[in-house]
Amino acid sequence: MLTQEQKAFYKENGYLVIEGVLSQAELKLLHETIDELVEKAQSLGVPNNLCDFEPVTEGGRKIVRRIFNPFEQAKCFEELASHKMILDAVEDLIGPNIQIHHSKLNMKPARAGSPVKWHQDLPFFPHTNTDLVACLIHLNDSTLENGCLRVIPGSHKLGPLDHRAKDGTFVGMVTEDLKKVDMNTAVNLPLKAGGMVLLHCLTLHSSAPNTSEAGRRVLIYEYRASDSMQLYGTPNNYMGRILRGVKPTTVRLEEITYIIPNYPIGTNIYDLQANYNG
């Protein structure tokens, strides 16, 4: 369970770092499973339903940068989503009735890992309330050199920011609304393998490219309170599965205004951001 100090920190800053969640044995199993998925992915053509690739190759081979929906790809990922320490922390933040919304595995391979520009999560998939939290489980040591997570503390209090170009196209990154943000408050979050970051769905975050010789893998589960319903976006096969608690009979509404994210189905954040020229 989280301490009162940890819960207060999350409420004020929109993120929380917790070290030592996974053991070395658990990390080993996850890496072995990922290695198998990467080998499978590299044998597939582009596009495919398993993964996304870096825009560059290495030795003529495609470089995997994201595994889609790991929850569905292997039993160990499905089981990890219900890890007691993880769900205990999530429950302390969004309540006892918890659903899985989506999962992804982001990888920044050595010398090739793509950057991710400043964005919030919830504008990609608006919900009836903001009780959603992303759990970023670090499978490698995350450093400044290999593109660790960066956040703007307290930015979740700004509400949904505009992620559109001037022509109204959703580009997967905050554009003009960055003027509302004091970028000097940005914080880097390096973290040892086995630790996790809990991230409010409206906290601004980004990551730099990987310029090091060390790869970085981060497994991400997005959880939501069971009385939060998605208003827009593409569902997956497991969205809404109850991981703890009971299925609700009501939907909870917050007073919140979203800009509809009019991105094409199947487009990912990397492509959305790469196609934006400012």
Q: pLDDT digit string (tens) for 144-196?
A: 999 999 999 999 999 999 999 999 999 999 999 999 999 999 999 999 999 99
Between helices 84-94 and 4-13, what is the axis angle to 10°? Answer: 60
Distance CA 144, CA 207 (A): 9
The reported pLDDT for the residue numbered 97 is 98
pLDDT digits (tens, 9 = 90+) for 243-268: 999 999 999 999 999 999 988 777 88
Burial (0-12, 13-18, 19+ Cβ within 10 Å), 32: exposed
Contact yes or no for 195/21 (Cβ under 8 A): yes
The reported pLDDT for the residue numbered 265 is 72
* Structure tokens given for 157: 């209090």
* Structure tokens given for 180: 């509302």
Average pLDDT over residues 52-63: 78
Residue 88 has pLDDT above 80, yes or no: yes
- Domains of the chain, by residue range, sit at 4-274
* Helix, strand and coil percent figures for the chain, each rounded to 5: 25, 25, 45
The reported pLDDT for the residue numbered 47 is 64
The reported pLDDT for the residue numbered 114 is 85
Across the chain, mean pLDDT equals 94
CATH 2.40.30.10 corresponds to the domain 4-274: no
The reported pLDDT for the residue numbered 163 is 97
Contact yes or no for 261/162 (Cβ under 8 A): no
Residue type, 261: P
